[in-house]
C-alpha cells in the first residue's frame, strides 16, 4: 500500500473507543487506523486506561499514537472538555468514534474543538434500554457529520429506536485483511485423525453468540457423524457453563474450548465447516474471515449475515436459536463434500469482491474527505457580502 492509495497523507485523525479487548469493533478500529497510518495519515487512538491492552498492542504495532483516558461517571462534561483539549493539542483534523459511549463524547468534544466527527455503531444496542441513552445517541448523531452502521438491518434498527429518517444513517460493511496461514496445527493439537470432522466457531463466549445451540446441534449430529468434533475460539463468561452443558449432553470429549487465539487464520484452515450460531449480529468479522478462508459456512440469518452470504448462495442460513435447524444444515454440508467445496468457493469469491479491508477504508475516507471539504470550503459570496 502506498501513501497515495487513499489520499490521506498528512491528515490527522483521532479514533475513540471505550473498550480495549479483542472484539469486533476494536478489530475494525485496528484495521482502519492501521491502514490509514500506512497510507500516510497521522493517527491517535483514545483507549481506556484500565482496558485489557489488546487493542493498544495492535495499534502500537501499526505506529498509531495512544492516548489513555479514564471516564469516571456516565455524564462528565469535564471528560468532554478534556477530549476537546486533546484534539487541539494533537491538531486533529477529524475524529471518528465507535459505539455508544464514545460516539456521545466524541461528538461533544469535536463540536467544542470545531472539527468534523464520524461515529460508527457496530451492533450493540446498549443505548436502547433507557430514554436518556436514546436521547444522548440522537444528540450524538445530530452533532456528527456522519453516523454509520455496519449493516442495513442495524441502520434500520437505530432509525426505529431513535425515530430517525433512514438517510441519517450511512451503511459501511466491515472489511478484513486476509493472508493465508503458513501452517495450521490445530488438528494435531486436538489429536484428530484424518477421518475426524471438525466444526469451528469463532466468537467470545457470551449468550448472544449462541454457542449453547451449537453444542445442542452437535449432540444431535453425532449418531450420523460419530467422528465429529467442535472447536470454539474465544473467551468469555460462559466457558464453564458451556463445559457443563457439553458434559450433560455427553459430548464433553468432542467440544474443545480454545480460548482466545491469535492464529484465527490457522484455526479456520483446520475447519471442515465454519459455524456462526449467533442470536444477534451486525456484520461479524469472524464470518468474513471464514469466507476469505474458503470455509463452507452454516450461519444464523441475523444482521447482515444473510447479505454477506448472498442470501444462502454462499453459505447455508438458519433461524437463530433453532438447534434442530442448525443440526440439519450442518448435516447437509457434512454429507455432501462437493456441495461443501462449492459453498466455500462461493464464499471466498464473495469476500474478495465485497469485504476486503481496503474497500471499507475507501468508504470511510470518502466520508472524511466530504466532511473536511465542507469544513474547509470558503463561504458563499452571499455570506461574504453579509459579513459586517
Superfamily of the domain at 12-177+356-373 = Glycogen Phosphorylase B; (3.40.50.2000)
pLDDT at 25 over 90: yes
- CA-CA distance, 144 to 31, in Å (whole number)? 22
- CA-CA distance, 250 to 253, in Å (whole number)? 8
CATH 3.40.50.2000 domain extents, the chain: 12-177+356-373, 186-354
Q: pLDDT grade, residue 380 (50/70/90)?
A: very low
Residues 6+ apart with CB under 8 A from 198: 186, 187, 190, 192, 228, 229, 230, 231, 270, 271, 272, 273
Among the ranges given (15-19, 154-158, 177-181, 321-325), the one the predictor scored with the smallest mean pLDDT = 177-181
Which pTM was predicted?
0.85
CA distances from 247 to 35, 252, 255 (A): 44, 5, 9
- CA-CA distance, 26 to 118, in Å (whole number)? 16
pLDDT at 334 over 90: yes
Residues 6+ apart with CB under 8 A from 126: 99, 100, 133
Q: Are 293 and 178 in contact (CB under 8 A)?
A: yes
pLDDT at 109 over 60: yes
**Residue corresponding to grid cell 457496530:** 122
**What is the crossing angle of helices 77-89 and 99-113, to 10°?**
60
Mean pLDDT value of segment 268-291? 95
- CA-CA distance, 64 to 346, in Å (whole number)? 36
Q: Express as a percent the part of the chain with pLDDT over 70.
A: 95
pLDDT at 4 over 70: no
129 CB-contact burial (10 Å; exposed 0-12 / middle 13-18 / buried 19+): exposed
Mean pLDDT value of segment 105-124? 95
Q: Outline where DSSP puts E strands in 53-145.
A: 65-69, 94-98, 117-121
- CA-CA distance, 262 to 281, in Å (whole number)? 22
Q: What is the largest CA-CA distance in the chain?
A: 84
DSSP 315: S
User: For 288-333, how does the pLDDT look when each residue is reduced to its tens digit (9 = 90+)?
Assistant: 999 999 999 999 999 899 999 999 999 999 999 999 999 999 999 9
pLDDT at 383 over 80: no
Superfamily of the domain at 186-354 = Glycogen Phosphorylase B; (3.40.50.2000)
Q: pLDDT grade, residue 128 (50/70/90)?
A: confident
pLDDT at 133 over 60: yes
Amino acid at each position: 500500500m502506498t501513501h497515495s492509495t487513499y489520499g490521506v497523507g498528512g491528515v490527522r485523525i483521532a479514533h475513540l473507543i471505550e473498550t480495549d479487548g479483542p472484539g469486533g469493533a476494536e478489530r475494525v478500529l485496528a484495521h482502519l487506523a492501521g491502514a490509514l497510518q500506512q497510507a500516510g495519515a497521522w493517527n491517535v487512538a483514545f483507549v481506556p486506561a484500565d482496558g485489557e491492552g489488546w487493542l493498544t498492542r495492535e495499534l502500537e504495532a501499526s505506529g498509531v499514537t495512544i492516548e489513555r483516558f479514564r471516564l469516571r461517571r456516565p455524564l462528565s462534561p469535564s471528560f468532554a472538555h478534556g477530549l476537546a483539549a486533546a484534539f487541539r493539542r494533537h491538531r486533529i483534523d477529524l475524529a471518528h468514534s465507535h459505539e455508544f459511549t464514545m460516539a456521545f463524547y466524541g461528538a461533544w468534544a469535536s463540536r467544542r474543538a470545531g472539527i468534523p466527527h464520524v461515529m460508527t455503531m457496530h451492533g450493540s444496542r446498549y443505548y436502547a434500554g433507557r430514554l436518556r441513552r436514546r436521547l444522548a445517541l440522537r444528540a450524538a448523531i445530530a452533532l456528527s457529520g456522519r453516523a454509520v452502521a455496519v449493516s442495513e438491518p442495524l441502520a434500520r434498527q437505530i432509525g426505529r429506536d431513535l425515530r430517525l429518517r433512514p438517510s441519517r444513517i450511512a451503511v459501511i460493511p466491515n472489511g478484513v485483511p486476509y493472508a493465508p496461514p503458513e501452517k495450521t496445527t490445530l488438528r494435531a493439537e486436538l489429536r484428530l485423525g484424518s477421518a475426524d470432522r471438525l466444526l469451528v466457531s469463532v466468537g467470545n463466549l457470551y449468550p448472544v453468540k449462541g454457542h449453547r445451540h451449537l453444542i445442542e446441534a452437535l449432540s444431535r449430529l453425532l449418531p450420523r457423524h460419530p467422528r465429529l468434533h467442535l472447536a470454539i475460539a474465544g473467551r468469555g463468561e460462559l466457558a464453564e457453563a458451556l463445559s457443563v452443558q457439553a458434559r450433560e449432553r455427553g459430548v464433553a470429549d468432542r467440544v474443545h474450548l480454545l480460548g482466545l487465539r491469535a492464529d484465527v487464520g490457522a484455526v479456520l484452515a483446520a475447519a471442515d465447516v465454519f459455524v456462526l450460531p449467533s442470536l444477534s449480529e451486525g456484520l461479524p468479522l469472524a464470518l468474513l474471515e471464514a469466507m476469505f478462508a474458503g470455509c463452507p459456512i452454516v450461519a444464523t440469518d441475523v444482521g447482515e449475515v444473510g447479505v454477506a452470504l448472498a442470501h444462502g448462495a454462499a453459505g447455508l442460513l438458519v433461524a437463530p436459536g433453532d438447534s434442530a435447524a442448525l443440526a440439519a444444515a450442518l448435516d447437509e454440508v457434512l454429507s455432501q463434500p462437493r456441495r461443501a467445496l462449492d459453498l466455500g468457493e462461493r464464499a471466498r469469491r464473495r469476500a474478495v469482491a465485497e469485504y476486503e479491508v481496503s474497500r471499507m477504508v475507501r468508504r470511510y475516507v470518502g466520508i472524511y474527505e466530504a466532511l473536511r471539504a465542507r469544513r474547509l470550503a470558503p463561504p458563499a459570496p452571499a455570506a461574504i457580502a453579509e459579513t459586517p
